[in-house]
């Protein structure tokens, strides 16, 4: 396997970088999208491996300095676009590229963002209850916590955090905000911990799922992922590679479902009624039926990678699929 590691002086670890590099297999003259630029680990590895072009996308303005460094180092081979990877089709074509040979995204919050207390992503450090990946966006976690109805809060925490005690958490939040506005991460973490007991079998902090839910809601992460997958289908060349690294079941479920449907792996709902998918040419071919997972060595080196899953597929020559002509029921790996 290709052994590519981040630079020794980089404080951030590019999750499953070796697997990403093996599947993408960068080649001279090709063009790749790094849809979640972050600290630039993937982009740098692609540019070092081959005489290729990398189009990096990120909504976080704090990555501009890193992007400028790569631009200085690699020149015109590196292009940085400020925005969301869900808007990749428009962003990339507006910058003069019609097609690309690879589309890579590492979904979710980065360690760089988590480690900055003032970004409000972490319940381990006190900071403003923010959680915006794009600091120019309007909606913050503080807005949601202090203004949403109790039922809406419970639904967000249950749907996006998969928190079984979501109603109890929402009720407690509403009670506490009536006493004083909830403005910091530790305030919210303590509120959640007061009503969600720590399971002896579960090593995660009781506040983890609620924080995850609010972060996903603030940044529309699941909608962003769905739009990004559709953009990849539109912009990838034949044999172009789609690679998605995700970190929880909601993200992975969206990727898995999309690839199952678009690779023709949706089974018939009824033996008496042919599946509509049979009338549609698959737009992707799975590189591996099951998800790639981090090696034990990587998990030991970077514990944050333990929940990561990577799915990958090759673009076929077929036209993008209209999902209204497909059945979603029964898709599974």
- Tell which wins on pLDDT, 12 or 297: 297
At 20-52, the pLDDT tens digits run 999 999 999 999 999 999 999 999 999 999 999
In the predicted structure, residue 112 carries a pLDDT above the cut 60 = no
pLDDT-derived band at 268 (thresholds 50, 70, 90) equals: very low
* Residues whose CB falls within 8 Å of the CB of residue 140, separated by 6 or more in sequence, listed in order: 120, 129, 130, 131, 132, 218
Full-model pTM: 0.87
Fold of 17-111+221-325: Rossmann fold (3.40.50)
Count of CB atoms situated within 10 Å of the CB of 71: 15
In the predicted structure, residue 217 carries a pLDDT above the cut 70 = yes
Q: Domain boundaries in the chain?
A: 17-111+221-325, 118-219
Reduced to 3 DSSP states, what percent helix, strand and coil does the chain have, rounded to the nearest 5? 45, 15, 40
Mean pLDDT of the chain: 88
Chain mean position to CA 3:
24
Please tell me if the domain spanning 17-111+221-325 has the same topology as the one spanning 118-219: no
In the predicted structure, residue 57 carries a pLDDT above the cut 50 = yes
The hierarchical CATH code for the domain 118-219 is 1.10.150.170
Interhelix angle 41-49/17-24, rounded to 10 degrees, is 40
Would you state the structure tokens that stand for residue 129, as one six-digit string? 């209850």
């Amino acid at each position: 396997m290709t052994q590519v590691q981040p630079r020794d002086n980089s404080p951030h670890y590019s999750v499953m970088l070796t697997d990403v590099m093996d599947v993408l297999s960068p080649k001279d003259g090709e063009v790749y999208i790094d849809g979640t630029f972050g600290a630039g680990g993937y982009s740098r590895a692609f540019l070092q491996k081959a005489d290729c072009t990398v189009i990096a996308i990120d909504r976080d303005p704090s990555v501009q300095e890193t992007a400028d460094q790569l631009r200085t180092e690699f020149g015109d081979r590196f292009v940085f676009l400020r925005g969301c990877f869900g808007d990749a089709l428009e962003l990339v074509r507006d910058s003069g590229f019609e097609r690309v040979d690879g589309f890579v995204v590492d979904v979710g919050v980065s360690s760089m963002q988590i480690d900055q207390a003032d970004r409000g992503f972490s319940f381990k450090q006190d900071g403003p209850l923010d959680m915006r990946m794009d600091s120019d966006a309007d909606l913050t976690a503080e807005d949601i916590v202090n203004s949403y109805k109790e039922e809406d809060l419970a639904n967000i925490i249950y749907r996006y955090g998969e928190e079984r005690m979501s109603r109890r958490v929402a009720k407690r939040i509403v009670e506490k905000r009536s006493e004083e506005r909830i403005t910091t991460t530790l305030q919210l973490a303590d509120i959640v911990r007061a009503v969600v007991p720590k399971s002896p079998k579960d090593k995660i902090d009781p506040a983890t799922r609620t924080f995850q839910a609010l972060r996903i809601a603030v940044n529309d992460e699941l909608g962003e992922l769905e739009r990004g997958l559709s953009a990849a289908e539109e912009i990838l060349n034949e044999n172009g590679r789609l690679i998605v690294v995700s970190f929880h079941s909601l993200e992975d479920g969206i990727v898995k479902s999309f690839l199952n449907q678009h690779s023709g792996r949706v089974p018939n709902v009824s033996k008496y009624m042919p599946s509509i998918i049979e009338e549609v040419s698959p737009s992707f071919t799975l590189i591996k039926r099951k998800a790639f997972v981090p090696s034990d060595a990587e998990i030991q080196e970077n514990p944050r990678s333990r929940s990561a899953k990577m799915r990958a597929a090759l673009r076929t020559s077929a036209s993008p699929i209209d999902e209204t002509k497909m059945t979603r029921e029964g898709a599974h790996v």
